[in-house]
Amino acid sequence: MSPHYHRLPTIDVVPDDRGWPARVNWRGQDLDVEVCGQWRIDEPWGRPIRRDYFQLRTLDPALLVLVFHDRLDDSWHLERLYD
């Protein structure tokens, strides 16, 4: 089962020219990533949510992760680490 983080940890992301993740820092390691999927959520009602989600694959170590960019406060978060 893949862990889903209820307290979404912030992560350091180096974006490419499009603003998509090119490298992430996870547990002190800089990892090059490949974007496998991307989608956007904009929910203006209630507590507004404006997020760009990215499903990423790392090469070494081989990981599949789900991260998002919170466009309201310009922060990056790890939402899920797939096993």
Residue 74: predicted pLDDT: 95
Query: Percent of the chain having pLDDT more than 70?
Result: 90
Q: Averaged over 34-40, what is the pLDDT?
A: 96
**φ, ψ dihedrals at 68, nearest 5°:** -140, 150
- List the chain domain ranges: 12-82
Helix (H) or strand (E) holding 33: strand 29-43
